[in-house]
Amino acid sequence: MGRLVYVAFPLIISFAVFSLCQGVAAAAAPPHPNLQWHYYEFNTTCRYAEEYVRHQVKLIYDHDKSITAKLLRLVYSDCFVTGCDASILLDEGPNPEKRAPQNRGLGGFVLIDKIKTVLESRCPGIVSCADILHLAARDAVKMAGAPGYPVFTGRKDGMKSDAASVDLPSPSISWQDALTYFKSRDLDVIDLTTLLGAHTLGQTHCSHIVDRLYNHSGTGNSDPSMDATFRDYMRKLCPPKTKKGQHDPLVFLNPESGSDYTFRESYYNRILRDEAVLEIDQQLLNGDDTKEIIGEFADGFEDFRRTFAESMYKMGNINILTGNQGQIRQNCRFTNKGNPN
Ligand SMILES: *[C@@H]1O[C@H](CO)[C@@H](O)[C@H](O)[C@H]1NC(C)=O
Ligand SMILES: *[C@@H]1O[C@H](CO)[C@@H](O)[C@H](O)[C@H]1NC(C)=O
């Protein structure tokens, strides 16, 4: 089992259950003939690449637990747009992906740079930025309480990045549109329901929920699918309008686990109680199939953890580059040709 953030199709329940029980076992075969389990250990002279990555992630994680949410968002922003080619990391070009409005507030770049510097000093030119991003996210997810999942390695880095290619949906997207978007990347309703669980440790700007709190669909009222007590609590955090010069406040997507950045089943329990922050999260309760999956995750945290691993694995395999399709960047912010150093 395992999936991430945007899906919505009438799924046959038996499939959902089957998939849940298959767990990570379904992920046992390499996704691509040129990717390899522990590629750096067995096929390169950089035997300890994965250990170097884990060590650097741990150093950061010990004093900044928000790194898990940041890395998850980076993986999502990278993989869904032109595939898992580390294009999100590039500073190069007139308008790189990281400058797209949907990518506002992305973080974690400094950690990736740090890991790359360490790896280039130990074994220059061997470990791709695309693999570093996935290994680091996997390690951080594990530190935050979800299980590790297989990251097959050997990805190459892409050589272009253009904000115009960024079609990531806004956090205020509907559930149906999110599912359509996920399906366009070969992810399914389980992936969407599961990957949305990453909201258990994320934050969002009030601007994405003020309509829900004060003027839902132009009705002048709040979203009726939101518990009234919870709505009043959220209204205190998010005023109807931010005054000129005042910045758009950030709120935790799961008030119960947000500040400690750990994976919890409470994200799913809150949806069952009409206490989801984002409308897309609350809408998961509207589909028969998604409602079933939520009930399963709310009851069985292990199911969620394992499914999450599988969905991360699937997301990590979207349009990867191998062989001559890409390169190993020396600096994750620049292609080798554009590297100023
Ligand atoms: C890596 O090494 C293994 C064992 O030597 C080999 O079977 C495999 O084909 C190699 N993979 C790549 C991508 O070079
Ligand atoms: C609510 O939204 C509608 C449609 O966007 C708008 O016409 C109306 O003025 C809004 N009401 C308030 C109280 O802001």
* Residue 31 pLDDT level (bands cut at 50, 70, 90): low
* Residue 30 pLDDT level (bands cut at 50, 70, 90): low
Q: Work out whether the CA dihedral 261, 265, 268, 273 comes out positive or negative.
A: negative
Catalytic residue, chosen from 3, 47, 54, 73, is 73
Q: Is 189 annotated among the ligand-binding residues?
A: no
Quote the ligand 1 centre to 8 CA distance (angstroms): 38
Domain contains 40: no
Domain contains 97: no
0.85 exceeded by the pTM?
Answer: yes
Write the CATH number for 221.
Answer: 1.10.420.10
CA distance 162 to 113: 20
Domain contains 150: no
Token look-up 């999956």 returns 293
Note if 305 is an active site residue: no
Domain contains 41: no
Q: Is 63 annotated among the ligand-binding residues?
A: no
What is the span of the domain harbouring residue 214? 175-310
Domain contains 270: yes
Q: Taking Cα atoms as reference points, which of 175, 150, 196, 187 lies closest to residue 304?
A: 196
pLDDT, tens digit (0-9, with 9 covering 90-100), for 151-189: 889 999 999 999 999 999 888 888 889 999 999 999 999
Ligand 1 atom nearest to CA at 33: 13
pLDDT, tens digit (0-9, with 9 covering 90-100), for 116-150: 999 999 999 999 999 999 999 999 999 998 777 77
* Smallest CA separation from ligand 1 atom 14, residue: 43
User: Would you say residue 83 has pLDDT above 90?
Assistant: yes
β-bridge pairing 203-205 and 250-252 = antiparallel
Q: Is 93 annotated among the ligand-binding residues?
A: no
* Residue to mutate, 172, 215, 223, ligand 2, most ligand atoms under 8 Å from C-beta: 215
Domain contains 15: no
Domain contains 327: no
Q: Is the CB of 215 under 6 A from ligand 2?
A: yes
Domain contains 120: no
The H-or-E segment that residue 19 falls in is helix 13-22
* Residue 13 pLDDT level (bands cut at 50, 70, 90): very low
How many structural domains does the chain have?
1
Quote the ligand 2 centre to 215 CA distance (angstroms): 6
